[in-house]
Amino acid sequence: MPTRESLAHPSLGKLPARKILECIFALSPTGVILHHHLEEVSKTDGADGVLYTLTGQPAAPGRERCRIVPPFVRQFSTAE
């Protein structure tokens, strides 16, 4: 079974998330996929899975060129 991943967003709450390479993608309540990077989050491993928390740190220089295509929304399905 894959590890559950979530992003703690300051205004949107706990969102389903996926880490791909050095990117963290999170599904907002409106269906928009948010895109952050490892240096922008802290990571906590717990009984419920991995929780990424935004730290307020800026993305590394050059990240504006990041072109990783976000996963399909179905990747965020909670169905087992």
Render pLDDT for 18-58 as a digit per residue (tens, 0 to 9).
998 899 999 999 988 899 999 999 999 988 899 999 999 99
Average pLDDT on 51-73 reads 82
Provide the whole-model pTM: 0.81
How far lies 45's CA from each of 4, 52, 68, 79, in Å?
Answer: 10, 9, 24, 21
Across-strand partners of 43? 52
Residue 60 lies in a domain: no
- The answer as to whether 54 is a domain residue is no
Residue 36 in domain: yes
- Is residue 2 in some structural domain? yes
Give me the number of domains the chain comprises: 1
Domain that holds residue 23: 1-47
Q: Is the residue at 37 inside a domain?
A: yes
Domain for residue 25, yes or no?
Answer: yes
In a domain, 8, yes or no: yes
In a domain, 61, yes or no: no
